[in-house]
Structure 1
Amino acid sequence: MTAAEVRHRVLQVTDARKRLLDLIQYAQRNSIGLRLHGGDISDYFKVLVRHLLRLSKSLTHPHRKRARILLFSLVTAVGTVFLTGSYYMRKTYKRLRSYSQSKPPLLRRTRSQTRLESGARIMYISEDKVSEEDQDDRSGAPVRHLDGVSSERLGRTKKIFIPKRDGDVFERDKYLFKSVETSYEPHSQLFYSKFLNQMSALIKILIPSWLDKNVALLSLQVFFLIMRTWLSLFVARLDGQIVKDVIAGRGKGFLADLACWFIIALPASYTNGAIKFLQRKLSLNFRVYLTRYIHDMYLDERLAFYKLIFDTQSDSSVIKNIDNSITNDVTKFCDAFCSVFADIAKPVIDLVFFAVYLRDNLGTFGVVGIFANYFLTGYILRKYTPPLGTLASHKSSAEGDFYNYLLNMSSNNEEIAFYQGTEVERAKVTELYSNYFDNSLQIDQSKFNYTMMEDYILKYTWSALGYVFASIPIVISTLSSKENLENSNMRDFIVNKRLMLSLADAGSRLMHSIKDISQLTGYTNRVFVLLGALHRVHFRRFNYGAFVGMEMGYGDSKDMVRGTVQRNFHGIRFENIDIIIPSRRAGRGAKLIGTLTFQIPSVIEPSSKSSSIQDFKKNFDPNVPLIDSTGASLLILGPNSCGKSSIQRIITEVWPVYNKNGLLSIPAPSNLFCVPQRPYFTRGGTFRDQIIYPMSSDEFFDRGLKDKNLARILKEVHLDYLLDREIGCSYMDAVADWKDVLSGGEKQRMNFARILFHRPRFVVLDEATNAISVDMEDYLFNLLKRYRFNFITISQRPSLIKYHDMLLEVDSSGSWQLQALGTVEAITSIDHELDNLKGKLADVVKLEEERKALRQKLEVS
């Protein structure tokens, strides 16, 4: 390129820049009356802000409205840029700080939180990762991510402390939910006392105090809603002014007003986005508060998740589909509640602002006519609104039934395949889906006539009335100049029409919210029923669904559950306890065993330690037996359905002691380990998690324990061959569906591995060896005796007598007999059992002879 061409290009750029500056000066001179020539950019902004402030304070300046619009847009833009820049600068600073450290602190985590002994929780949120080259695990296993899947080690983590929730909150809320449940009388479909009372109880959970962050979010949302209405007024006036400029042929005024239109669009768009973001953020916060509130009652030491099956007062669909209630119903309730709040708050604010402005243009008669139209429309729509709340509740219940049945099929697919039950399962799934489809279709059908009537009134009738009300100032106008009359009427008509349309839209959304509120009532009722049931079962004196006289649910349970429980005892003692199945009849229900009395060990030393002797801080050695223990053992023997497993339910306090003279004495939870009939394995957990259950992996590593300790335990129960599936101890980190990977015998031996790991003083085994070979069963019971565990075995096999010191025989009639093995009575009982076995063997000989005779007949024929 030649010098002349370069010079020509520079002149073009300079000329274009000059024309742009001239255009900016022309625009600001004609729009806000600001005249500037030259000067620095910082000085320009100072002069501009001062000029806009001066015009905004003026009451008579013609550019006052434009100055306010520009000043408001400028402040909004600067604030947005400042907040966004601060956020990204802070994020960049944290990232650079993490990179500046040569070796970040390493932390091994398998889960995202740890529960402390005080009940508080510590959550760990990862910020960045460290490569696999820096791995240095104290147990020799690969590092895992928070979700238990990734092989990368966590680098920096953010630690959040969540204090324990005050237990008195649940006790206070229990009476609040009780009063709401017993006070409502549903008469109306909308805004009836039941809905308002339920919502008032739930609000105390969603917004626990006036200083809560949700109050700030609600305040911000209301602020932006008011701001959007205020901006709508500006836009309406600006719209009318633009139309007036076009008709009058004022080109400069049109361009200036059009520039203001594009400027005011920036804060208007930001306001709309902020409202949607705050609505979603508020919904998530409400869901977090409500879910944590439910989890704190549902999953605590009072075993509410188990006792829910005995709450006969609750809606069966909520209890049967408890997983659907905790997940879907809570989410739908929070979303619907925040949506209804925004759908009601915005129209109400619009109605107030627009009505005040329109009163000056339309007069009192016009505003009264508008609101009379609203009240009449609201009455008609409310009268013909279908019961969407009830229909939504039925649909949610049907959806939960359909989902849970599919989940049950997935969990038992192998058994169904063995039974060849495809046809039966398909028929049941089809039936449940048809029920869900019918409920969904019923909602759509009920909305059809309502939607048609709603559209006719809100869209067409209101539009026609809007034109009528907007023409009022034109009809009664008495301006002197005809030209000014036409221009003024055109501007007023455009402004009034736009405001009337906005007012009609506000009223339409307010009327539409009637339908949304009706749906919200269904979600509110299901969530309230769930919380009411949790409060009942979480109550310390829960009566297990008993119905005595007129007392039910929250009634005083002293006359229903009258037994005494002594905790932190040095043994396990039953004294005059009636084993009764929990039911509505309470102590008068079905009695399995009467006045049961036994104690293990038979003699309790006062000096016996009440806490576990295992020191997790030291290297764990499973070969060291329990000290200060004689290793007493009791066998509970009896036929099926005689109440043997119910004894274990009493020990773990999942069943109550009804009779008032019954006394239950149990050790501390750390000294008691109960093994159920069906071994339990956590889903999505590692092989390590299965051995140390119910301890978490976080606690395992925090206490300084190592995988080699678990390998020694597996060797004790002859499961060490499982580790050969991977190199070294890496199998400890394998994640699988362990209930399907392990065989029946391996599952039961895993229970014994858990016993050796936790080292409790007392163990209760319920049919814990029925899937294990005889030689392995002999080895495991001798292992328990070698380590001096005190254990109770529940079984129906007399062959286990040789491993126990005492025998408790229970028959199907509920009578029982306790005897010490080795005494004359015990020997007589064993001899009697041997005689029975000999009789059965004699029958086998007879059957063999009959089989031979049948074969001979077949050969002859």
Structure 2
Amino acid sequence: MAVLSKPLSTRLSSANIKSLVNDFTSLYLQNRTRISRAVYLTLFVALITRIRNAIAEQKAASLRRATSVHKPATGKGDGEATGRKKVELNREFFKNLLRLLRICIPGWKSKEFRLIIGHSVFLVLRTMISLYVAELDGRLVSALVRGKGREFLVGLVWWMGVAIPATFTNSMLSYHQCKLSLQYRTRLTNYIHSKYLSQMTFYTLSALDDRITNADQLITVDVAKFSNSLAELYSNLAKPVLDIIIYNYSLSRSVGGEGLFFMSLLVQVSATVMRALTPPFGKYVADEARLEGEFRASHSRLIDWSEEVALYAGHEAEKDTLDKGYFTLIKHVNRILRRRFYHGIMEDFVIKYFWGALGLLLCSVPVFFKVPGTSMKSMGDRTESFVTNRRMLLMSSDAFGRVMFSYKEITELAGYTSRVSTLLDVIDDIQAGHFEKKLVSSADTEENAAVLRGRGTVTEGEDIEFVDVPIVSPNGDVLVRALSFSVKPGDHLLIIGPNGCGKSSLFRILGGLWPVYGGKVRKPPFEDIFYIPQRPYLSRGTLRQQIIYPDSLLDMRTKNTTDADLLAILETLEIANLIDRPGGFDAEQPWEDVLSGGLQQRVAAARLFYHRPRYAILDECTSSVTLEVERVMYEEAKRLGITLMTVSHRRSLWKYHTRILQFDGQGGFYFGGLDAERRGALEDEKEEIELQLRAVPDIEQRIRELTSE
């Protein structure tokens, strides 16, 4: 009790306080390693938390902007906006990214993996060079302060010497990044091409499915952007993280982990205060955009109703409305300017001066305080330490900012990842036989829905036979419920009917482009059926390639076909003069522009005669040629043993066919033999009767006139 009753001034004398401080300092120095580790761990956790919070804030802001931009107004936009897929950094994104990474980097022995290793080595080397340059910068300034000219010149030589590996490293980083982007794109493009150009996917993707409307852009543009974004993100994220770790570690060794910790704490506190005092500029900008939209809408409304306003002489009323909208907007903009003025003062003071002062204080720690492990004996040493630490602090701050702002790059990568992954998913679905197509209203009936759910069988055989096969368009409209016919070799078939009755649909089923929804289809192998449309496809290449398409020159030689054989085909079609052009068979021109419609159809016929298939589907393929050329084409095809299946309304073609398949446009059809002469006579009689029927009203009118007289 005697000790407790001593006066406070006696217990807290200056000697006791000094002793207490010395004891505390001694205890701290004895446990400095443990305390430093705890400080480093705390700094690391705080850094991760800060980055996470910053990313979360940017993500929330992005979602708010996306919601305001994509929010549907009324009516038609609702469905479209609802169906739009959001891109988020969730499990699905990482799953899709991992899938694409496995395509881009197939294994650790791949060229891409070696490029990543090389890129990583140069990233580490660049950070080490930056660290050395910071130390060299400090030595140069120290030599200047101490007046050591020789030491300064030696340092300057080293400065120029380090420029060689530094510039080489920077160039190698850019080179590796570009090479990685190209390699990623090459891998992805080859993978997509192998799937896109197999199983007729390039056709079914656009004709039988609605999910992908711009496959060309996805393959050519989005794949390139994804590859570039992926290569950039690795550089822009890996190096700043490495810089933060190395620079902060070097700083902590120079100024002590304690100073770094307290500076980070003060920065965090000041940032929190500044954030709390920051006005809601996001809301202000949204309100400004809304007022701008209302002002613009007022002008648009005046333009739309200008005639009515002019007739009402309502220009004064409209002027008041426009002035009110404009001054409301200007008042709001002035309010924002005032808030930004005061916020700019606070922001500049905190960021440029307060945080700058904290940085100066941190860099001055080794100068004014003895930090274990450092020795500051002269002014030059203190200057060198100050300049080096300040440079490392600036580079660390820059790296921290790049890490925080990398969220935008990650979201861009997420968008490209989503689009490319969607393309691959849809291709996989299509190749598995799953299609999503907007159906017509008639397809909603129970009977039609049952047809669409069904699947028929397809077998190979010598002839062509359809047994109870429904003809269904891609939008779900059932054109014919059960089509049955057969074509044997030598049975030349003429197919006629109104537009939209199923003629072309029949050929697409026969070519394997459309699915078989029911019944049985027997047909020859794909290479035994050749198709010639009304507008032939002319590829990019030589004249020879137009004739032998889709064969290559090697395929042509394998078939023991020579240019003389091709010339004989051209002579049959009376177009041998095509080889008189410069280059002959090797001439390359934009053939779809150079050749007329009739010449293009003759080249397509030459292509047919070169391949000599067992069956040929001719879809209005003589619409641009003369009757004489038409005769040559059909007689030569029959001479070569090609069974013809023709879609045409030209009566001149009837005599080349022995069978007819006629659609009535109401879901019905007729299949049977074709007697060209008899059918021609019947058609003539029908036309004559129709002509007489059209004259009936005039005859009746004349009878009434005669009766009235």
- TM-score by length of structure 1 reads 0.57
Q: 2:187 maps to which residue?
A: 289
1:458–1:504 Cα contact (<8 Å) kept: no
Superposed, 1:3-152 pairs within 5 Å as none
Superposed, 1:169-208 pairs within 5 Å as 191-208=89-106
**1:665 and 2:522 matched:** yes
Q: 1:324 maps to which residue?
A: 217
Q: Which amino acid aligns with 2:467?
A: E
Q: Which amino acid aligns with 2:572?
A: E
**1:303 and 2:200 matched:** yes
Superposed, 1:366-405 pairs within 5 Å as 366-368=259-261
- Post-superposition Cα deviations, 1:584-621, rounded to whole Å, max 9, x if no partner, equal xxxxx3111121111110xxxxxxxxxxxxxxxxxxxx
2:492 aligns with one of 633, 636, 640: 633
SS in 2 for 1:769: coil
Q: Which amino acid aligns with 1:223?
A: V
Q: 2:501 maps to which residue?
A: 642
Q: 1:621 maps to which residue?
A: none
Q: 1:806 maps to which residue?
A: 659
- Post-superposition Cα deviations, 1:189-222, rounded to whole Å, max 9, x if no partner, equal 8744443333222212111222221111111111
Query: Counterparts of 1:782 and 1:204 in 2: how far apart (Å)?
Result: 56
Give the superposition deviation at 1:503.
0.8
1:805–1:821 Cα contact (<8 Å) kept: yes
Q: Which amino acid aligns with 1:582?
A: P
Q: Which amino acid aligns with 1:732?
A: F
Query: Counterparts of 1:384 and 1:565 in 2: how far apart (Å)?
Result: 65
Q: 2:114 maps to which residue?
A: 216
1:463–1:501 Cα contact (<8 Å) kept: no
**1:513 and 2:397 matched:** no
SS in 2 for 1:674: strand
Give the superposition deviation at 1:521.
2.8
Give the superposition deviation at 1:251.
3.6
**1:226 and 2:124 matched:** yes
Superposed, 1:270-289 pairs within 5 Å as 270-289=168-187
Query: Counterparts of 1:655 and 1:190 in 2: how far apart (Å)?
Result: 36
- Post-superposition Cα deviations, 1:138-189, rounded to whole Å, max 9, x if no partner, equal xxxxxxxxxxxxxxxxxxxxxxxxxxxxxxxxxxxxxxxxxxxxxxx998x8
Query: Counterparts of 2:392 and 2:570 in 1: how far apart (Å)?
Result: 78
- TM-score by length of structure 2 reads 0.69
| CA gap 1:800/1:478 in 2 versus in 1, 3 angstroms | closer
**1:541 and 2:541 matched:** no
2:604 aligns with one of 747, 751, 774: 751
Superposed, 1:820-831 pairs within 5 Å as 820-822=673-675, 831=681
2:543–2:587 Cα contact (<8 Å) kept: yes
| CA gap 1:482/1:708 in 2 versus in 1, 3 angstroms | closer
Superposed, 1:157-172 pairs within 5 Å as none
Runs of 4+ in structure 1 off by over 4 angstroms are 310-313, 369-381, 383-386, 455-465, 557-561, 701-704, 826-831, 840-849
| CA gap 1:348/1:461 in 2 versus in 1, 3 angstroms | farther
1:541–1:558 Cα contact (<8 Å) kept: no
Give the superposition deviation at 1:834.
3.1
Q: 2:461 maps to which residue?
A: 569
**1:761 and 2:614 matched:** yes
Q: Which amino acid aligns with 1:570?
A: E
Q: Which amino acid aligns with 2:684?
A: L
Q: 1:833 maps to which residue?
A: 683
Q: Which amino acid aligns with 2:531?
A: C
**1:796 and 2:654 matched:** no
Give the superposition deviation at 1:385.
12
Q: Which amino acid aligns with 1:575?
A: V
Q: Which amino acid aligns with 2:465?
A: R
Query: Counterparts of 1:680 and 1:580 in 2: how far apart (Å)?
Result: 25
Q: 1:719 maps to which residue?
A: 575
Give the superposition deviation at 1:292.
0.8
| CA gap 1:667/1:234 in 2 versus in 1, 3 angstroms | same
Q: Identity of counterpart residues, as a percentage?
A: 34
Query: Counterparts of 1:722 and 1:840 in 2: how far apart (Å)?
Result: 46
Query: Counterparts of 1:385 and 1:349 in 2: how far apart (Å)?
Result: 34
Q: 1:528 maps to which residue?
A: 421
2:145 aligns with one of 247, 253, 265: 247
| CA gap 1:682/1:495 in 2 versus in 1, 3 angstroms | same
Query: Counterparts of 2:533 and 2:485 in 1: how far apart (Å)?
Result: 21
Give the superposition deviation at 1:281.
0.6
Q: Which amino acid aligns with 2:254?
A: N
**1:773 and 2:646 matched:** no
Query: Counterparts of 2:183 and 2:280 in 1: how far apart (Å)?
Result: 35
2:252 aligns with one of 325, 348, 359: 359
Q: 2:328 maps to which residue?
A: none
Query: Counterparts of 1:688 and 1:778 in 2: how far apart (Å)?
Result: 24
1:471 aligns with one of 356, 364, 382: 364
Query: Counterparts of 2:220 and 2:415 in 1: how far apart (Å)?
Result: 15
**1:333 and 2:226 matched:** yes
Query: Counterparts of 1:369 and 1:349 in 2: how far apart (Å)?
Result: 22
- Higher RCO (C-alpha 8 Å, min separation 6): 2
SS in 1 for 2:501: coil
Q: 1:600 maps to which residue?
A: 487
1:574–1:599 Cα contact (<8 Å) kept: yes
Give the superposition deviation at 1:577.
0.3
Query: Counterparts of 1:495 and 1:666 in 2: how far apart (Å)?
Result: 81
Unaligned segments of structure 1, at least 5 residues: 1-184, 387-448, 549-556, 584-588, 602-629, 850-861
Q: Which amino acid aligns with 1:566?
A: V
2:143–2:380 Cα contact (<8 Å) kept: no
Give the superposition deviation at 1:488.
3.1
Q: Which amino acid aligns with 1:304?
A: T
Comparing 797-806 with 266-275, which one deviates more in the overlay? 797-806
Give the superposition deviation at 1:256.
3.1
Give the superposition deviation at 1:698.
4.7
More helix, by proportion: 2
Query: Counterparts of 1:204 and 1:510 in 2: how far apart (Å)?
Result: 25
- Post-superposition Cα deviations, 1:303-356, rounded to whole Å, max 9, x if no partner, equal 111111256562xxxx33332222222222211221121011110111111121
Q: 1:164 maps to which residue?
A: none
**1:678 and 2:535 matched:** yes
Query: Counterparts of 1:380 and 1:790 in 2: how far apart (Å)?
Result: 81
| CA gap 1:343/1:793 in 2 versus in 1, 3 angstroms | same
Query: Counterparts of 1:779 and 1:224 in 2: how far apart (Å)?
Result: 70
Query: Counterparts of 2:369 and 2:352 in 1: how far apart (Å)?
Result: 27
| CA gap 1:736/1:462 in 2 versus in 1, 3 angstroms | farther
- Post-superposition Cα deviations, 1:706-743, rounded to whole Å, max 9, x if no partner, equal 222111001112222333445xxx33222222222222
Q: Which amino acid aligns with 1:718?
A: E
1:632–1:789 Cα contact (<8 Å) kept: no
1:672–1:763 Cα contact (<8 Å) kept: yes
Comparing 632-641 with 757-766, which one deviates more in the overlay? 632-641
Give the superposition deviation at 1:370.
6.2
| CA gap 1:645/1:233 in 2 versus in 1, 3 angstroms | same
1:767–1:795 Cα contact (<8 Å) kept: yes
Matched positions, count: 541
Query: Counterparts of 2:423 and 2:351 in 1: how far apart (Å)?
Result: 37
Comparing 240-249 with 204-213, which one deviates more in the overlay? 240-249
Query: Counterparts of 1:354 and 1:567 in 2: how far apart (Å)?
Result: 71
Give the superposition deviation at 1:559.
9.4
State which structure, 1 or 2, has the greater radius of gyration over its C-alpha atoms. Answer: 2
Query: Counterparts of 1:540 and 1:232 in 2: how far apart (Å)?
Result: 54
2:96–2:417 Cα contact (<8 Å) kept: yes
Unaligned segments of structure 2, at least 5 residues: 1-83, 283-339, 441-448, 700-709
1:763–1:792 Cα contact (<8 Å) kept: yes
Query: Counterparts of 1:721 and 1:671 in 2: how far apart (Å)?
Result: 30
